[in-house]
Each structure stands twice: as structure tokens, then as C-alpha cells.
Structure 1
Amino acid sequence: MKYYSLPLQPMQESGAFLLRALQNEETPLLDLLVRESVQNALDAGRKDNQELPVSVDFHIREHSLEAIASIFSEGLNLQMLGKRYPRTPKLLEIRDSGTEGLTGPMTFDSVLANGQHGNFLKLVFEIGRTRTDDSAGGSWGLGKTCYFRMGAGLVIYYSRIETSEGYEERLVASLVEDENRVDRLQVTTQTGIAWWGENDRLQAITAPEYIHNILKALGAQPFSGKTTGTAIIIPLLKENLLPVFDHEDGPAPWWHSSYEDYVNVAIQRWFSARLDNPYFASGRYLSASVNGMEIASGDMLPIFRASQCLYDRAIGEVPEEADYLTARGIKSDEVLCKAIQLRGEFVASGHAGWLLGVALTSRQLQMEAPDNAPSPETCIFSKPGSGAPHRPIVTFMRSPGMNI
């Protein structure tokens, strides 16, 4: 792959700036990554087959350092690469299917005046482009910077899209690193930002055989048949991505033991209403897995099962007789359900949404033996609650399906 370093020019962002652009030091990096990657996949869900889910699969595995050295030999300081990674590194692959993939023009020259940039240019080459579609999960365009913070800053984008002439595969890589680091990976750079792509111009590689060889070296599989989607591959993963748990509050919850377990719970935490829920009302529901193990709604932590159940009751599509709250002994009159009225906001009569609430005991949340489930505060905030008993937890969820 040919190396293209971004030159220094007026009003140019630098790698050091982009790595700080998200300005979110409180939310753990793995949570930011799950939120961004899953929401990107849901936003790109194909409009056909609304009954089928958008699938997002997380894979964490070791990879060969030699593969990185071979693929990105042009532009990288291979001696520094070996020095910074003396042990076999890991990579994270986030793979979505049932989505449109990285569609649209591959170069800015191909964008017509006031034309659509498409998913490809927005994800790979643009920072800070505001989204205008109402159903999109984000608007600032800065969330994607979390990808570069997960490892050395190297991110490989692979996608398969459907065109009027059939199917097309695309692969391109980007590196964003602090240009001031004495141990930076690029041989020479003024900005810390670079891409790898076609030999004749800066755009994605489209030759299937070439792409498949790169994927094979990274342990990834190409899309085939009628499948379209995107795989984001982040090699050279950091070893300190798990958030620090204050052991004065007791032992760390089980999902703090590995990246795989933490990602599993993070998906539940942020997307409990949409995860494995065919009744989701605002688009295709989410099917997610970690290292090949699918996350079923019935296997979610109790607080997230209760959260999904409240959502289902709000949309009124699921029989209450068989839902989770009923199974835990909650009667219908014990669930608060009120329409949210906003005066002067709507031309016609109507409400802005629904407020649902329920008080659950520790027994109903399966915190007692033999289940011994963690407390809601631990599941949501990864730390025990320090407030008064029965401290309420309020979750806001708009149509894209991410919990706030």
C-alpha cells in the first residue's frame, strides 16, 4: 500500500489535536468505542428487510507484528515499531453486516457541488462534518476519533458495497498519532496524520485479490455472496484500556477481567433497548456478538433486561404477561406510565414521549443468592452506589436506540 502523509498547511488539524478532540475523559475508552461503532452500524442499516437485524460482531485476537511491518512498510519506522511492541500485540475487529457499507465517492474530486459525500469520505477522511438526518446517532463527527485512541493510532477500513454494476470492495488505512512523540511510528511527519491506499492516488484499494491478501494477514475474512458491510480493524491495541476499579469499594465486577467481557457488558449498557429486540420501534434491531458469542436479551444483566422491558411497554407491542417484569413479580399497577406533554410545542395535539418507571427490590434484580447479580450502579457506572437507599436511575432514550 502506498503511504500518503498529510502535509502541514493553513488551518490544518494535527494528530495531537485530533487525539484530544473528543474531550471526554470520564467515559472509558471501550465504552466510547462501543457507542460510536455500534451507532455507526445502526445508522448505516439497509432500508430493506426491516424485520432483520443489523449485525455487529466484535473480535479481539492476537496478530502478527510482521503483518503490520509488511503491509505498511512504506512510511513506518519499522525499528521503532518493533521497539514499542516487543510482545505479540492484539487487534480489535468491529464487523457489521446488513448495512450499506462505506458508500459514496472515494475522492473529493468526485463530489458534485452541494452533493452527498457518502459514508466513505465522512468516516475515512473527514472530521467534524455535522450530520443533518434526524435519525442519526451523532451530529458532530468527532466520535470517530475514539478509534485512533484505542491503539497506536492505526485503523484499517474494509467495506463491501452494492453498486449498479454489482458489488465492490474497498480497503484503506489511516494513522493518527501525536506528531511530537519521540517514539512516533511515522518516519517523518509534520502533522502525525497519514493514509495508505492506491498507488496512483489517495483512495481506497478496490482490487479484491489484493484486499483479501491484506485481510488474511490480519486474520480477517472478506465479505462474500450478497453480504454488504464494513469491518474496522484496529491493530496494535493498547494494554490498559480496562478502566481502573476502586478496590476500596470491593472486588471489581467480573467484566473488568478482559476486553471481551467488558465489551459484552458495554453493548448491553448502551443499547439494551435495541439489543436482540425484534419489537424495537425506530428501525432495525441490533444483533451483537463478541468473539462469536451472540448476546441474547435473556442473558443480559437484570438491570438491562428491566430497562428493555420498560421500553417494550412504552411502545406497547409486547405482551406484558410474559415479559421480564411480570416474571419478577411486578404487577401492572406498580409500573408508572405517563405521557410527556409539552405545551406549545406541537401544531396538533400529541405528546413528546413516555415516562415509565418501576421500583425494584434487590431480590427482583436477582442480587441475592443464588444469582448474586451486581447492583444496578455497578452495572451502569462500574462502581457501587454511594447514595441513599432506593436511589433512582433515570435513562433517556431517543429514536436511534442508545441509552443516555
Structure 2
Amino acid sequence: MKIKIASNDSQSMAQSGDSILRSLQNTDFSYADIIVRESLQNSLDATLPESSDTQVRYSLGDFESEELSSNFEQVSTKLANYYPGKQRFLAISDRGTTGLTGEYLTDDKAALDRSNFQKLVFSIGKNQDQDGAGGSWGMGKTSYFRIGCGIVIYYTRIRLEGNNFEERLVASLIENPKKQNCLLDQDQRGIAWWGTYGTEDQETLLPITDHDEIEKFLSIFGLEPYRANDTGTMIVIPYLQDDLTGRSEETIGVPWNQNFGDAIRMAIQRWYAPRLANPTYHDTTGNSVLYCFVNDEPIYPLDPMFKLIQQIIWLILRQYMLVHCLMLMY
């Protein structure tokens, strides 16, 4: 993939990678909590209006560094040297969602400001505009860059007019340019993207849209592209750090803190128990039911405490619905 490095103009008031990464200094929550909250909220916000459920999968696995590093122009040698052999990755994918829609082949600033693809991949701090959306495409996503080497890969499939589909693949890097083993030269801002360029325009980076090329790239991780009528977004974070559970003497015996997969499973229930695999939630609110999987294992049945919480909330909703019906009668 071709690289585009963020310009380092001292008069542009632009942030560098280290300042962006410092912007999410939340010490109250674990990496698993922050990643789960950010990814699930984005997926739920992008749920198709006609979809009764939203599916989100968290996949942890291994890949060969040399197979991936060769795809990243200008940093392939450093990647292979800093992270040799077998490495870990996290992939987060959703279904029943719109995918990263919006323009990228335009100079219209207003159109780019409305583009979810543009805001997630190229912008920091851009608010989401749809009704009911939580947060922004901004500071929360920086959590993705903090759990690996700083590279995040975005893959999406969207529906176009005329019932056509388009796939898009692009990668981004945010790193601390002052650290010793940075991928970019240390006089850079620590921000870059990888994709492709048009035949004439060599300044505007474009996503890769060729299905065969995307399928070959995803196969490095053992992942499959979207097919048939599926639309959605997949975020791949390669070169995971060794210990993402923040294990200490106080937490080393905690069952869900033994590995990152268990920590993610617990975080999903902690933050979204009322909505997980709960049709009553959809019947009452009209919003989609959330189904989550970690390495293809469903987060259901819930752990006993979260199951109890779900039942209590279900009883409250039933009471609310009963009172509402009685008020309508009178």
C-alpha cells in the first residue's frame, strides 16, 4: 500500500501523534473497557434502520509479521525488525450496519464533513450527526492506536445506489514521534495513512476498493471479506502489546483478567448487559438487539450477575409498558 505522511508544518497548529495519544488519558477504565465502549457504540449508531439486531465480533489471533509488513510502504523494514515472527492482532467486525458510508472522491468540504468514512479514518474530534448517535468519530478512537504498534486497518463494505456495493480498505498510523522505536522518521508528526493513489492525483490518498486485493490482504489474518448483501465495518489492530489487562498484584487472581479475550468478554457484559441477546429490549424500545461474540463464542448466556441485572431491567420495562397502556386507556 502507498503511504501518505501528515505534513509537519510548524505554523499549521496541527497535533502530533503524541499529543493525540495523550488526549485519551482515562485511568479509570481498562483497555478492554475503552475498546468495547468505543466499538460497540459506533456499531450501534451505524445499525441499519430495518435491522432488528446488530452483530459485533471480536477476534483475537496470530499472524506472520513478514506477510503483513511488506504491505506498508516506507516502514516495512522497521515493522519486520521491531516485530519479527508471529504477532497478535485484534479484529472487531459488525454486521447489520451501514458500514463507513460517505464521499472521499471530492473536494467538497461539506460533503467530506458528512462522510463517516472520512471522519473515522482522517479526522480527530468530528462529531457524528445522526440522531441518537453517541460520542464522536474523535477522541475515543485513539484507543485503537494505543494497544498495538500504532497501526489500525479499516475495512468496510457499503451499499451504493442501484443496489451496488463498494468495499474500502485503508490503514492509519498514530504514534509518538519521540519514542525510540518509532516507525516514521523522528522529525515527522507521527501520523500517516496507507491506501492507493489515482492515476493523475498523487496527493489525495484513496482507499483500496479491489475485492481480490482486499481478500488477499485480509487472508493474512485469516479473515474473510463481507459477501452477498452484507454491509459493515471491520477494524483490525495488528502487533498487539504483550499485556493489555494491566495485571497487578491486586488483580492477578481475577478470573476475567487472565487474558485480553476474557477482559473483553467481561467488558461487553459490564456495559451492555441490558441489551445483549435481549429481544424484550427491541420490543420495548424499537432499537436493535445486540449480539456479541469473542472468537466466535457468543456472549450468552450471561454471567449470573449480569443475567440478574438484565432480568431486573426487563421487569422495570414491563411495569413501564403496563403503566403506559393504562394511561392510554384513560
Aligned: 1:67 with 2:67: yes
CA distance in 1, matches of 2:141, 2:19: 14
Pairwise CA distance, 1:84: 2.5
1:315 equivalent among 308, 313, 317: 317
What residue number does 2:267 align with?
A: 266
Q: 1:101 to 1:255 in 2, by over 3 A?
A: same
Greater RCO (CA < 8 Å, at least 6 residues apart): 2
Separation (CA, whole Å) in 1 of partners of 2:286 and 2:119: 24
- Structure having the larger proportion of residues in helix: 2
SS of the aligned residue for 1:195 comes to strand
Counting only pairs closer than 5 Å after superposition, residues 116-265 of structure 1 correspond to structure 2 as: 117-139=114-136, 141-165=138-162, 166-187=164-185, 190-200=188-198, 201-247=204-250, 252-265=253-266
Q: Distance in 2 between matches of 1:196 and 1:75?
A: 10
Number of the residue aligned with 2:43: 41
Identity %: 38
Measure, in 1, the Cα distance between the counterparts of 2:236 and 2:187. Answer: 23
Query: How far apart are the structure 2 equivalents of 1:307 and 1:273?
Result: 7
Q: CA deviation at 1:137?
A: 2.0
Q: Which of residues 277, 289, 295 in structure 2 aligns to 1:291?
A: 295
Structure 1 residues 81-116: Cα deviation after superposition (integer angstroms, max 9, x where no partner)? 234224521000001011000000125614447x75
Deviation at 1:47, TM superposition (A): 0.3
State the AA in 1 paired with 2:67. A
Residues 152 and 236, structure 1, Cα contact 8 Å, conserved in 2: yes
Q: CA deviation at 1:140?
A: 7.3
Aligned-pair distance for 1:226? Answer: 0.5
**What is the DSSP-based 3-state SS (H/G/I as helix, E as strand, rest coil) of the residue aligned with 2:25?**
coil
SS in 2 for 1:316: helix
CA 1:146–1:36 in 2, change beyond 3 Å: closer, same or farther? same
Picking from 97, 101, 106, the partner of 1:99 is 97
Which has more radius of gyration? 1
Classify 1:283/1:157 alpha carbon distance in 2 versus 1 (closer, same or farther; 3 Å): same
What are the superposed Cα offsets for residues 343-397 of structure 1, whole Å, 9 maximum, x if unpaired?
xxxxxx9xxxxxxxxxxxxxxxxxxxxxxxxxxxxxxxxxxxxxxxxxxxxxxxx
User: How far has the Cα of 1:243 moved from its partner?
Assistant: 2.2
Aligned alpha-carbon RMSD (Å): 2.5
CA distance in 1 between partners of 2:193 and 2:239 (Å)? 16
SS at match of 1:224: coil
Q: What is the CA deviation profile of residues 273-322 of structure 1, one whole-angstrom value per residue up to 9, with x for unaligned ones?
A: 111111112510100000011111xx2122211221222122218999xx
* C-alpha separation in 1, matches of 2:119 and 2:159: 18
Task: Give the distance between the partners of 1:311 and 1:218, measured in 2 at CA.
Answer: 39
SS in structure 1 of the partner of residue 270 of structure 2: helix
- Tell me, in whole angstroms, the C-alpha distance in 2 between the residues paired with 1:305 and 1:231: 29
SS state at 1:279 partner: helix
Answer yes or no: is the 8 Å Cα contact 2:58–2:293 preserved in 1: yes
Q: TM-score, normalised by structure 1?
A: 0.73
Partner of 1:15: 17
Q: How many residues align?
A: 314
Residue pair 1:77, 1:187 contacting (<8 A) in 2 also: no
Give the distance between the partners of 1:224 and 1:287, measured in 2 at CA: 20
Q: Show the counterpart of 1:55.
A: 55
Does the 8 Å CA contact 2:178/2:186 hold for their aligned counterparts? no
Please list every run of 5 or more consecutive structure 1 residues that lacks an aligned counterpart in the other structure.
Answer: 321-337, 340-348, 350-404
- 3-state SS of 2:44 partner: helix
What letter is aligned with 1:264? Answer: R
Equivalent pair of 1:131/1:141 in contact (CA under 8 Å): no
What is the TM-score when the length of structure 2 is the normalising length? 0.88
